[in-house]
């Protein structure tokens, strides 16, 4: 049900608003979905692909996977520190928006209830300590934790 609703929301046109007013985002933490989509195309799609499928050689898939990181300790921080995220050539505000958009666009079914969207301050802090050579090992540890959670029903 949540996946269907999220996908339906992504397909709706962005309503026009009066000058000086702020549009209400239909995706938590995403003020301008069209900007987030454009940033994904320009900053992420080259490696992750148009449907976030990744590739076998060096880029793991995000589709039906990325929001699962939010369910394990350290996973939320990991997503903000991944090299391609932490070093993306966008502002902290745009990066928070992009990350929130990505979670709902590619893995809405696994966004946990009560998810608090990434914000500018949090992203600014995470970007100060980007992951480097330890990224793959950390990801592997988090994925193992996800599998353990699935096996135990957490």
Handedness of CA 18, 19, 24, 26 (dihedral sign): positive
What span, in angstroms and rounded, lies between the C-alpha atoms of 99 and 97? 6
Domains within the chain, CATH numbers bracketed: 2-9+31-152 (1.10.760.10)
Window from 9-18, 68-77, 88-97, 102-111 with minimum mean pLDDT: 9-18
Q: What mean pLDDT do residues 40-63 have?
A: 94
Residue 142 has pLDDT above 90, yes or no: yes
Q: What mean pLDDT do residues 4-25 have?
A: 41
What pLDDT is stored for residue 25 in this prediction?
A: 59
Percent residues over pLDDT 70 in the chain? 83
Q: What is the four-CA torsion angle of 120, 125, 128, 134, rounded to 10 degrees?
A: -110
Residue 6 has pLDDT above 90, yes or no: no
What pLDDT is stored for residue 35 in this prediction?
A: 98
pTM > 0.85: no
Q: What is the mean pLDDT of the chain?
A: 87
């Amino acid at each position: 049900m949540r996946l269907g609703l999220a996908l339906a929301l992504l397909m709706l046109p962005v309503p026009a608003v009066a000058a000086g007013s702020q549009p209400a985002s239909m995706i938590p933490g995403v003020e301008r979905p069209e900007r987030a989509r454009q940033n994904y195309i320009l900053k992420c799609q080259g490696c992750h692909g148009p449907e976030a499928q990744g590739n076998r050689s060096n880029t793991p898939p995000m589709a039906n996977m990325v929001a699962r990181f939010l369910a394990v300790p350290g996973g939320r921080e990991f997503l903000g520190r991944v090299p391609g995220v932490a070093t993306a050539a966008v502002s902290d505000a745009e990066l928070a928006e992009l990350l929130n958009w990505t979670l709902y666009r590619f893995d809405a079914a696994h966004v946990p209830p009560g998810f608090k969207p990434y914000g500018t301050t949090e992203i600014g802090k995470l970007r100060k300590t980007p992951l480097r050579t330890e990224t793959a090992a950390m990801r592997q540890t988090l994925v193992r934790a996800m599998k353990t959670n699935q096996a135990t029903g957490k």
